Every structure is written in structure tokens, then in C-alpha cells.
Amino acid sequence: MQKIRVVCCGMGAVGSRIARLLLEKEGVEIVGVIDIAKDKVGKDLGEVLELSKKLGVVVSDNVDTVLSKACCDVVVHATGSYLKTVYEQIAPLAKYGVNVISTCEELSYPYLTEPELAKKLEALGVKYAMTFLGTGINPGFLMDTLVITLTGVCQKIDKIKAVRVMNAATRRVPFQKKIGAGLSVSEFKEKIATRKITGHVGLEQSIGMIASALRWDLDKIQPDQVKPVIAHRQVESDAIRVKKGQVAGIRQTAHGIMKREDVITLDFQAYIGAEEEYDSITIDGVPPVHQRISPCVHGDIATVAIIVNSIPKIMNAPPGLVTMKDLPIPSAAVEDMRKSL
């Protein structure tokens, strides 16, 4: 049986790790690479990944050149968080009949913030018999898919709360930057207000996905303001030193409100120096469920894993736009990937 053929689009911190994992796996091959970064275009993938050998796949900035040459089953896409930006990158892939898995946070559940684009992607998928999926560790798993899975043992649910606390020092540098680590409080406020940094993207999408799975008709989804977490002592990562009084990262919360009750609360905290890292989910229901993963799941490693593990799942998915709650339960593809088809 032929190997699964993958094109990687976006060779940044996450995309290059996805490519490295794919190279280690059996039953799958990288047949093309797309990125617009000037320091990558025209280079062999081996060179971009800082491997000691060439791989015979050259980075191109032209989607059509890559996809018209390479027969491909899946494009793994990791360039941006907002569907408005990413739409023009992924929509043209549909006509090649290739499935698309993206780390774009808004794509994980786009029906609330980008309903028109979601409709267009659904129509393109159906027209060209291919599937779009947005996933990752969060959104994509910890604060939505896993929550939904745990509700499967409940007879009745009153409230759900999920908390994620992580030490951002161990995460990729683009992530540390987008949570404002090392900025003064005024710089942080200015950059958040002007969207030069985004904080975490995805809480609204996660709440939307949970509510949809439970058929809860929410009155609204209410994101709170992104709050800076201030360092009480000097803390640092390999890339960023945060002095006492500077911003170490963020705390972001969002609420799903139904009949004036806060029925879904998501609390996301990521900052350099967080001492206790964990993921917890509490379901007030019958029976009550409390799950705690300690230390928390490593976001970068897990995002790369869930993207790669989703390759066989998307190849078997119905055409159109799907979310994680529409696919079979997530599972690792640790053997030859063709066995998972």
C-alpha cells in the first residue's frame, strides 16, 4: 500500500516540529513544503530542519506549484490563528482534493466567530470531496474534546470548569512572545489593545464546541479581558528574561452563559515561572467528575502529536468542514500510519 503523502505548509516553530515527527514515522512521507519566509524558500527541507542530510524536498512559496506537482493526501497547515487571515491560504487547497488539517485556532470551531467562512469551507469541501479540520492541543483537545469526552459518563450536568496552568518557559518562543513575556505592563496593554500580541486564541471556540456537543443553547459567550500576570521575582526562559514587575505571561478566562448562569468556565494561565502546572476539568453533575493532569500536558509536543495523529482520521472523515467533536475519539498513530486508515 502506498505511503500517505503529506504537504507541510508553514515551517515555523510548530510546522517544523510536525515535519520532524512525520520524518520519524512509518507509512507516511513529506512530498512538498510551503512557506513564505525568505530564509526558507528555495532551501532543502533537511537544511531548514537543521538535519545533517538533504531530503530532496525544496521549500516553495507557491501553493499551486507544489500541489500541481505533488500527489498528496493531506496538507498540514501551521501559519496563523485567525481564520480571516488563514482562509485565503487554505481555501485554494480544496480544488486539489487534498484534506487540510490546520493549527489555526479559530478553525477549531469557526461557526460562531466566522460563520460565513465556515459555510464557504463546508461548501468547498463537499464540492471537491475533501475535508477541513482545525485542531491542536488547545483549542482542539484539552479544553474541549477532552471535556466533551468526560461528559459522556454524566446523566445530568449543571456546570463545567476547565483550568490550564502552564509554565511558558518550556514552550516555543513565538508562544512566549504572544503572551507578552518580558514586556512592561504598559507595553503589554498597548500591544494587546492594538492586537500586536494576541494572548491565547481559542477559548470562545472551545466553549462553542462544548455547548454544541451538549446541545446547550447559550445566551452568550463572554471572554474576559486578557490580564497580565506580573512577575514577583526575576524569572526566565532560554529566550526571555522577565524582571520583577514585568509581565511574565497571561491569565485569560471566558464564560458560556445560559439562563444567566455561568455554565461553562474556561481559565487559561500561561506565564514564565508558573510553579504548579496542571490541566483540570470539573463537571458539576450526576455523577460529578473531576479530572486533573499534573503536570499539565506539554502544549507544543502535544499539538504536533494531535496534528499528525489526525492524518488517518481526516482521510476517513466525511467531506466538508469537521471539528474534533465530529471525528472518532482521538488516538495515537504510533504504528505504521497506514494501519490506522
Ligand X SMILES: NC(=O)c1ccc[n+]([C@@H]2O[C@H](COP(=O)([O-])OP(=O)(O)OC[C@H]3O[C@@H](n4cnc5c(N)ncnc54)[C@H](OP(=O)(O)O)[C@@H]3O)[C@@H](O)[C@H]2O)c1
Instruction: Judge contact between 76 and 315, C-beta under 8 A.
Output: no
How far is Cα 29 from Cα 3, in angstroms, rounded to an integer? 6
Query: How many residues are there in the chain?
Result: 341
Contact status: 139 vs ligand X (CB under 6 A): yes
Minimal distance, residue 253 CB to ligand X, in Å: 18
Instruction: Judge contact between 185 and 289, C-beta under 8 A.
Output: no
Stretch that binds ligand X, among 123-131, 138-146, 162-170, 329-337 (CB under 6 A): 138-146
Which one of 7, 8, 11, 324 is in contact with ligand X (CB under 6 A)? 11
Fill in the per-residue mask, 96 to 115: x = in contact with ligand X (CB under 6 A), - = not in contact.
-------x-x----------
Contact status: 73 vs ligand X (CB under 6 A): no
**β-pairing, 156-167 with 278-286?**
antiparallel
Q: Whose Cβ is closer to ligand X: residue 103's or residue 253's? A: 103
Minimal distance, residue 330 CB to ligand X, in Å: 13
Minimal distance, residue 86 CB to ligand X, in Å: 8
Q: How many residues bind ligand X (CB under 6 A)?
A: 26
Contact status: 13 vs ligand X (CB under 6 A): yes
Please provide the DSSP assignment of 222-245 as one string: EEPPPEEEEPSS-EE-SS-EE-TT
Q: Whose Cβ is closer to ligand X: residue 27's or residue 114's? A: 114
Query: Which amino acid, one-letter code, is at 207?
Result: I
Site residues, ligand X (CB under 6 A): 9-15, 34-37, 78-81, 89, 103, 105, 136-140, 172, 174, 303
